[in-house]
Amino acid sequence: MVRVSLKVKLLHIETGGINIVVLNDEQAKDMDLKHLDRARVQNGRNPIICSVDITKVAVKKGEIGLFVEPEEKLKVKDGDILMVECVSKPKGLKAIRQKLDGKELDEEEIYDITRDIVNDALSDVELTAFIVSSYCRGLSLEEIYNLTKAMVKTGEVLDFGKGPVFDKHSIGGVPGNRTTMLIIPIVASQGIKIPKTSSRAITSPSGTADTVEVLCPVDLPKKKIKEIVDKHNGCMVWGGSFNLAPADDKIIRVEKPLSIDAEGQMLASILAKKISVGSNHIVIDLPMGPGTKLPTHERAEHLNEAFINMGKKLGVKIECIESNGSQPCGNGVGPSLEAIDVLKVLTNEPSQPKDLRYKSLLFAAKIFEMSGKAKKGKGMELAQKVLDSGKAYEKFKNIIKAQGGNPNIKISDIKVGSFIYEVKAECRGIITMINNKAIADIARAAGAPYNHGAGLFVKAKLSDAVNKGDLLMTVHAESRIKLLRAVEVLESKKVFTIQ
């Protein structure tokens, strides 16, 4: 096998995840390497496998150009010497070809693919081939089971010992919907362990982690997360803060531009992340309605059954709740505005969003009944008592403080964008439809989630009677330019239907 010493040339270009090195075309010919072949690269430390790109100009013979990802993993600088040798293509590639042909993959084949994804051994083209084949060919229950196990095995895990550990997840698609930040303190205040790792926004105006970050840090090390949960029974942290089912994030990175969300990969993704944080009891929110992932009751029932069957195979108790996903949940859309909604509910403000309160209580009630804290049918009563008594708010403040935030933050302390645009009713009537996708697009155009104060305050809800000129929604931005951009998006879309 050809092995050569090459001088490092840093290219200062990020790939978004994959390890890529660049060789001069003459150098590549000498080493019998072609475009997208693999090379093992090392400097005395652990070697990494990289995809090879080839150039005639950017890198000279005797040099190796490094993108940012291999640069950071190898910890090298310009002029350092690396040992480079060609290696065979990843083992998982054969399995990907078989999946493209419609073959059902076994446990070893699924593991090979997952390991290659985690090790950045697959090019974007190869990873896309796996995702598309899973989308078009589908994944059997056994394949989903093996993919879930492989995702857990190739990442880190948290262990909270014996006993029930709960989690809650929503499959998404509903703006606002910040129920997690209410469910966690309600449940944790009653001695139930519920370590919550959440995602940042990818295409939405805010992920749970983005909204929590308005109040406290969410990027915490594994050891700190365990300490917080051991002491307070719950946490609200970013799942990317440690190596939690890392294959999932890499799959999502490719899925999003294609607008693909293969059911099998979604099931494996959700369950792998829950199992990785020690959860053995999971409640899943299935928002249903126009514009959501579940436009019909039949589709929701199908996914409900799939989750329950997977839970049985994995030894995890799963219950699903079909919820109304036809409009935003709460008034705020965007990190700061959503955080305000949460504080209003916790402090029982008269202007609190009643739909957010009710939905949060519904899920907390389900967890109380699953845990045995409340008898069947009595969970809602306990959840309301915990919220109204202030116990949930106290637990919330304890968790915020433990994560490094200010537990006494007030609603007036949370800044929202001062550049505003009001959307008013153009006629009298009843609101019969609200376009969730348009609301998300407008909030993102205003700067959410990157500008925490950007987003929308959605005052009007379905079935509301309005008169011409009534306020329906307020757009908030942190700059005039972003407000103008949001208004441009707003004017190109129909947000409210009034009849």
- Catalytic positions are 261
> By three-state DSSP, how is residue 18 classified?
coil
Give the DSSP letter of residue 459: -
449 cis-preceded (ω within 30 degrees of 0):
yes
Diameter of the chain measured on Cα atoms: 78
In terms of DSSP H, where are the helices of 40-123? Answer: 68-74, 92-100, 107-118
Q: If you write DSSP's letter for every residue of 355-398 in order, what string do you get?
A: HHHHHHHHHHHHHHHHHTSS-TT-HHHHHHHHHHHTHHHHHHHH
Question: DSSP secondary-structure letter at 276?
Answer: H
Contact present, 385 and 427 (Cβ < 8 Å): no
> CA–CA separation, 271 vs 161, rounded Å?
19
Parallel, antiparallel, or unpaired: how do β-strands 48-55 and 20-24 relate? parallel
Q: What is the DSSP letter of 92?
A: H
Shortest CA distance to 25 belongs to which of 51, 49, 59? 59
- Rounded to an integer, what distance in angstroms lies between the CA atom of residue 70 and that of residue 68? 6
Helix (H) or strand (E) run with residue 38 in it: strand 38-42
Query: What CA–CA distance (Å, rounded) separates 252 from 239?
Result: 14
Q: How far apart are CA 277 and CA 191, in angstroms?
A: 17
- Look at the block and give the residue holding tokens 């059954």: 305
d(CA 134, CA 345): 41
Residue 291 backbone phi and psi in degrees, to 5? 85, -5
Separation of CA 471 from chain center:
32
What count of Cα atoms within 13 Å lies in the side-chain half-sphere of residue 491?
7
The pair of structure tokens assigned to 71 is: 């640069």
